[in-house]
Structure 1
Amino acid sequence: MAGLLTFVSARGGAAAQRDAVADALGLLRHRGPDAERIVATDDVVFGSEDLRVADGHPNATQPIEYPPTGVTAGRYLIVLDGAVYNAAELRAELEEDRRAEFGTGSDAEVVVAAYHHWGPGAVSRLRGMFAFVIWDSSARRAFGARDAFGIKPLFQLPTSQGVYLASEKKALLPFVAERTAVDTVRLQHYLTMQYVPEPATMHPEVRRLGAGESFVYTPGGPLANRRYSQLTFRPTPVTDEAAVVHRIAEALRDSVHAHMQADAPVGAFLSSGIDSTAIVALAAEKDPGLRTYTVGYDAAGPGAQFSEIDVAEQSARALGVPLSATVVTAADFMRALPRIVWHLDDPVADPALVPLFFLAERAARDVTVVLGGDGADELFGGYPIYREPLSLSSVSHLPDSMQRGLRAVSRVIPQGVKGKSFLERGTTPIEERYYGNARIFSDEEKAALLRHYEPDVRHTDVTAPVFKEAGALDDVTTMQYIDLYTWLRGDILVKADRMTMAHSLQLRTPFLDRAVWEVAATLPSELKVPPRSQETKAALRRALAGVVPEPIVHRKKLGFPVPIRPWLRGEMYDWAHGLLDTSGAGDLLDLDVIRGLLRGHRKKEADHSRKIWTVLVFCVWHAVFVTGTMRPGFTDVSPEESRL
């Protein structure tokens, strides 16, 4: 586990970049505070900030050189961020079939040995979360990859001098020529989706290696990315529902136990829903004393109705595990937001990432590894919006001519009149109406807000290729596929990685495991959102009926909700105005539009909280990364961090 930063020179002389890489590497110290190492050759500089979760062998500090002995000793260098849960099995196979040598017990050494003996195809055999870079000094070639779900990040910066790669974008910014340039197309997408869609970033020169992609770079040649893994749903009719339910339970149990492999202390997050509760219940089978953590708000304040602490405490008691609860206030939000945005690299306007930041801070006092329930909704059909195709079927299944007529009727119905939205959505193709879980600003609203609105830039630019890949899937499964390749990767996994690694805490997600995926991918829609009930994740709930306490199995999902609606009318109102006044983002956004929304929100004319929050997060990002007028607000700031 590491924060990695590498430079592969296009024409030699890489060692001259060692000091610059070392300085930038310090920006990743939160990802690995246990050890730092830099290896420089004429072709490459490999740097790593290590977080020790396994193998304390001194030679296990990354970058690792491989093979450890022999005439080709040290041919390869590798830096790996993540965890490979089948590393022991792969190592045994390599030792038996290829007589491979190992000098450490690290996952990174297994990965590079697998690459040496099996070639680039070895990446498809890895079970886990990972982003890695390998340098082959004999072939003078760099190779790297990200896991299929995109749990671990890898950023790329190609330049005329060579290619830089890093775990977080901030470590690449010292090498970016136009550091203050903002990609206005990505800003437009952000205002719709509340995140910057992969693979782009807000800095035009920097991109992300896509989830399930690998790359090859030979000095002087192009940086070539390719997809090695495509996760494809394949709904299959079920003749034995009990057998399918049993497979889900066993696959998840196996995954949870595999994800608990660590020499460091392991804990788990616990909210009110079935996802995290299932993870805790299965983990407690292996570790009855498993430490769990939750977050909520003051029971006496306006956030009381959003707090999950009481429910999480009930779950913890039912499961017999200890629980530590963290209470977060509006003052905490306002104080921590600059630091949170600094860790994000790009703006993500999901309010839930703020309590997650404080939750991770608390858990990191006790444990180094923590389990979470991310991914269950995308794999098993958990979002309420997945029921929309069923509710619209009375209109969407009508002949095209009738739909056109109803669409015309909807246009003349006044805004706010009951039935207008239903007719609009029911007569709009799914490719047009669905672009993920977040729908912040409409095209009309963005035209008023953006100083440089581009009408040809639409959300379908992001989703159309994904819809094409989804093919002939039913509408429910298509929505899952869109979220898998957009929402999960752009929002859920970004906030999960950055908010936990901000505190040197490794988050593991057992739902996002290839064995669990193999079962989830085959489920037909009726086992996810049954047509004659309001249930979601139906098959998963049945699989966990004997694992999770009965009252929790059918509990409504909350997922660490955030009281920004009442706070922006009260404690946060003046603070929000202050951010708008000082961010310097007025050259990109007409901030008077947001001031108007803020006033209307306070008067309770409408709930504008998500729109306001989306712009506030961008304003903080702009002040931190573009104008430099806002500091992250560290209390334990390093010399490297203090420069941003």
Structure 2
Amino acid sequence: MCGLLGFLTTDGTSDEAVAQVASAMHCLRHRGPDEHGTWNDADLVFGFNRLSIIDIAHSHQPLRWGPPEQPDRYALTFNGEIYNYLELRKELADEFGATFATEGDSETIVAAYHHWGAEAVRRLRGMFAFAIWDTVDRELFLARDPFGIKPLFLATGTAGTAFGSEKKSLLELAGLIGIGTELDPRAVEHYTVLQYVPEPESLHKEIRRLESGCYARLTPGSEPEITRYFEPTFPVRPFAAGREQDRYQEIAAALEDSVAKHMRADVTVGSFLSGGIDSTAIAALAMRHNPNLITFTAGFERQGYSEVDVAAESAAAIGARHVVRVVSPAEFAAAIPEIVWYLDDPVADPALVPLWFIAKEARKHVKVVLSGEGADELFGGYTIYREPLSLRPFEFLPPALRRAARKLSERIPEGTRGKSLLHRGSMPLEERYYGNARSFSDAQLRSVLREFRPEWTHQDVTAPIYARSVGWDPVARMQHLDLFTWLRGDILVKADKMTMANSLELRVPFLDPEVYRVASQVPLEQKITKDTTKYALRKSLEGIVPPHVLHRAKLGFPVPLRHWLAGTELFDWAHQVIAESGTDHLIDKAAVTKMLEDHRVGTVDHSRRLWTVLVFMIWHGIFVEERIVPQIQEPAYPVEV
């Protein structure tokens, strides 16, 4: 796990370019404090920070590799892990006679690219963002893993194209690249609605992200040519009646194999553990490979907002040593500026705060943790996925009646029982569902944003995705949408940024190509029932997950934000954030203050909307106003002797 940065120039490298890249690497020290280095030739500069996990004594980067006749043809920088690298090394050696100088996974990527070309990315089981420079063809190849576990930002300006693991490093190189740093108002509106910035956008207009499941090629002076190599689909494969157990065994086998491969490391591997089925399944399977496994959870003192007790019971049931971190409201508020600095772009998910604290605690004990992200998107775990079942009667209404029902729902006063059901039932899926989060209605956006453009809607993001799933069942379409929106915009961003902030590698065994393959073939009735979600997964985990967790509802790391913003814990803090923010040209601060006051007296629960605005204000104070200077305790590089 590492941090990479690179610059492909238009007119050739210079000493100044090398020096600036080397300097910008310092804001990525947390991603790789074990080693650092740069490499350059006439057209390109690579910078790299390494967190040593596999083949610690070797596999240094930037890494050089080539066939015997051109031993240094390629240069590589790579962030991530390839879990099937041992199998790929054998295949490459047997088929092509490939040789390797290290015992790590990095060389495997370059050798695979040399022999299989761009198709190599389809053979990699892992999480990755990497850059390969071909010194002979003078071509740069960039790639990102299928689900977007590891990030890669891009910026092309007058002087060339820069790419990096974190946006802040590209902002430091803005002058060198030849780009501006103005904000993208459409991305601001998308963030305010969705609570995250959707790919490929960032809040800076001239910095974008290489999307998940994509690779890019470019040469000096050219724009990146981007190709999508992975498109998740859900090709249902029914089993004959009475053979459902075969499916459950197939799921369990795929997950067990994935966890086994995710345990490959030359350092200690631990596991995050909440009170839910996903993380408990991963930890239980990991125990089969490491009987001394340490598990970690975070919680709060407030009743009903902590899974500490359930997680401790689960750890005891599987025999793991367990570590708990309880977070106070004061700690929560004090950590926000530092957390937002690590995020690069705001993410208004309060669960990332306890995640940051437990990552900090875990890093005292281990260098790698496993976690349960991705299970809900692959197996149908969100409660909202049951909505198509409740709305099925509306499908039989003629179009004219559905339109009439929608108009009627708009006239019914807010808070009236049945209004939401009537309104949502009369809408097509493409309009009513755009992921797991919505902070503001259009009316609320108009009152808060100074520049509200009604033509900038969530459908900018969702319409192209929905267009690729026409004809699928509604739950599969919702899963497909979440893979491209909520998962990679919120879930995986907070997982990567909060753990790497603490120089901790997080691995996600559910987001494995083989687990995806079996999950994608599960029919609708095996995902969602009237009583539960993730039905097939739960059945497959019988005998693996303790009974007290097997059918428990999902909570994750719940945060008592609603209570804290209304009480003494965070009300004054939030009021001060609003008052001091220099976002008057973007946000109607009087409207936000009124939301805070209404929330305090209990008129309406504005907690998620307030949190969305507050996180943006802090982000703006750091990256635009430069008024807020977080106290970042970046790790020091090792002393060279």
Normalised to the residue count of structure 1, the TM-score between the two structures is 0.96
- 120, 125, 128: which is aligned to 2:126? 128
Residue by residue over 1:205-262, the C-alpha shift from the partner in whole angstroms, topping out at 9 and shown as x without a partner, is 1000000000001112221111111111122333221111110111000001110000
Aligned to 2:135: 137
Matched, 1:544 2:551: no
> Contact (CA 8 Å) 1:179, 1:626: kept in 2 or not?
no
Where do 1:302-451 residues align within 5 Å?
A: 303-451=302-450
Aligned to 2:287: 284
Cα RMSD, aligned residues only: 1.3
Residue 470 of structure 1 aligns to a residue whose secondary structure is coil
Q: One-letter code of the match for 2:419?
A: K
> Contact (CA 8 Å) 1:375, 1:512: kept in 2 or not?
yes
Where do 1:119-518 residues align within 5 Å?
A: 119-176=117-174, 180-239=181-240, 240-298=243-301, 303-518=302-517
Residue 378 of structure 2 aligns to a residue whose secondary structure is helix
- 567, 584, 587: which is aligned to 1:586? 584
Q: State the Cα distance separating 1:75 from its structure 2 match.
A: 1.1
Aligned to 1:28: 28
Q: State the Cα distance separating 1:9 from its structure 2 match.
A: 1.2
Q: Structure 1 residues 217 and 29, CA, compared in 2 at 3 Å: closer, same or farther?
A: same
Which moves more between the two structures, 630-639 or 483-492?
630-639
Residue by residue over 1:253-298, the C-alpha shift from the partner in whole angstroms, topping out at 9 and shown as x without a partner, is 0001110000011000000000000001111111111000000012
Stretches of structure 2 that go unaligned for 5 or more consecutive residues are none
Residue by residue over 1:399-419, the C-alpha shift from the partner in whole angstroms, topping out at 9 and shown as x without a partner, is 212212222322332221111
Provide the rounded CA distance (Å) in 2 between the counterparts of 1:63 and 1:345.
24
Provide the rounded CA distance (Å) in 2 between the counterparts of 1:115 and 1:413.
60
Aligned to 1:40: 40
Which moves more between the two structures, 134-143 or 179-188?
179-188
Aligned to 1:17: 17
Q: One-letter code of the match for 2:294?
A: R
Provide the rounded CA distance (Å) in 1 between the counterparts of 2:276 and 2:584.
40
Provide the rounded CA distance (Å) in 2 between the counterparts of 1:114 and 1:415.
58
Provide the rounded CA distance (Å) in 1 between the counterparts of 2:124 and 2:398.
48
> Contact (CA 8 Å) 1:15, 1:41: kept in 2 or not?
no
> Contact (CA 8 Å) 1:2, 1:48: kept in 2 or not?
yes
> Contact (CA 8 Å) 1:15, 1:44: kept in 2 or not?
no
Q: One-letter code of the match for 1:297?
A: F
> Contact (CA 8 Å) 2:2, 2:48: kept in 1 or not?
yes
Normalised to the residue count of structure 2, the TM-score between the two structures is 0.97
> Contact (CA 8 Å) 2:33, 2:636: kept in 1 or not?
no
- Across the two proteins, how many residue pairs are aligned to each other? 631
> Contact (CA 8 Å) 2:21, 2:173: kept in 1 or not?
no
Q: One-letter code of the match for 2:132?
A: I
Where do 1:81-92 residues align within 5 Å?
A: 81-92=79-90
Q: One-letter code of the match for 1:48?
A: F
Where do 1:64-103 residues align within 5 Å?
A: 64-67=63-66, 70-103=68-101
Provide the rounded CA distance (Å) in 2 between the counterparts of 1:638 and 1:577.
36
Aligned to 1:8: 8
Provide the rounded CA distance (Å) in 2 between the counterparts of 1:538 and 1:427.
28
Aligned to 1:613: 611
Matched, 1:50 2:47: no
Provide the rounded CA distance (Å) in 1 between the counterparts of 2:237 and 2:350.
37
Q: State the Cα distance separating 1:71 from its structure 2 match.
A: 4.1
Residue 555 of structure 1 aligns to a residue whose secondary structure is coil
Q: State the Cα distance separating 1:638 from its structure 2 match.
A: 6.8
Q: State the Cα distance separating 1:106 from its structure 2 match.
A: 1.9
Q: State the Cα distance separating 1:635 from its structure 2 match.
A: 4.1
Q: State the Cα distance separating 1:397 from its structure 2 match.
A: 2.8
Q: Structure 1 residues 537 and 263, CA, compared in 2 at 3 Å: closer, same or farther?
A: same
Provide the rounded CA distance (Å) in 2 between the counterparts of 1:36 and 1:337.
28
Q: Structure 1 residues 179 and 563, CA, compared in 2 at 3 Å: closer, same or farther?
A: farther
Provide the rounded CA distance (Å) in 2 between the counterparts of 1:272 and 1:196.
29
Provide the rounded CA distance (Å) in 2 between the counterparts of 1:401 and 1:238.
39
Residue 83 of structure 1 aligns to a residue whose secondary structure is strand
Residue 469 of structure 1 aligns to a residue whose secondary structure is coil
Aligned to 1:642: none
Residue 20 of structure 1 aligns to a residue whose secondary structure is helix
Residue by residue over 1:274-326, the C-alpha shift from the partner in whole angstroms, topping out at 9 and shown as x without a partner, is 0000001111111111000000012xxxx231011111111111111110000
Provide the rounded CA distance (Å) in 1 between the counterparts of 2:190 and 2:396.
30
Residue 584 of structure 2 aligns to a residue whose secondary structure is helix
- Where in structure 1 do 4 or more consecutive aligned residues deviate above 3 Å? 177-180, 635-639
Stretches of structure 1 that go unaligned for 5 or more consecutive residues are 640-644
Provide the rounded CA distance (Å) in 2 between the counterparts of 1:192 and 1:506.
30
Provide the rounded CA distance (Å) in 2 between the counterparts of 1:257 and 1:179.
46
Provide the rounded CA distance (Å) in 1 between the counterparts of 2:408 and 2:628.
50
Residue 181 of structure 1 aligns to a residue whose secondary structure is coil
Q: State the Cα distance separating 1:30 from its structure 2 match.
A: 0.3
Q: State the Cα distance separating 1:365 from its structure 2 match.
A: 0.6
Identity %: 49
Residue by residue over 1:95-133, the C-alpha shift from the partner in whole angstroms, topping out at 9 and shown as x without a partner, is 122111211122111101111111111111111000000
Residue 28 of structure 1 aligns to a residue whose secondary structure is helix
Provide the rounded CA distance (Å) in 2 between the counterparts of 1:277 and 1:101.
40
Q: One-letter code of the match for 2:245?
A: A
Aligned to 1:61: 60
Q: Structure 1 residues 637 and 623, CA, compared in 2 at 3 Å: closer, same or farther?
A: farther
Residue 48 of structure 2 aligns to a residue whose secondary structure is strand
- 607, 612, 631: which is aligned to 2:629? 631
Provide the rounded CA distance (Å) in 1 between the counterparts of 2:95 and 2:253.
30
> Contact (CA 8 Å) 1:528, 1:536: kept in 2 or not?
yes
Q: Structure 1 residues 637 and 62, CA, compared in 2 at 3 Å: closer, same or farther?
A: closer
Q: State the Cα distance separating 1:564 from its structure 2 match.
A: 0.7
Provide the rounded CA distance (Å) in 2 between the counterparts of 1:179 and 1:629.
20
> Contact (CA 8 Å) 2:30, 2:634: kept in 1 or not?
no
Q: One-letter code of the match for 2:288?
A: E
Q: One-letter code of the match for 2:547?
A: E
Q: State the Cα distance separating 1:15 from its structure 2 match.
A: 4.5
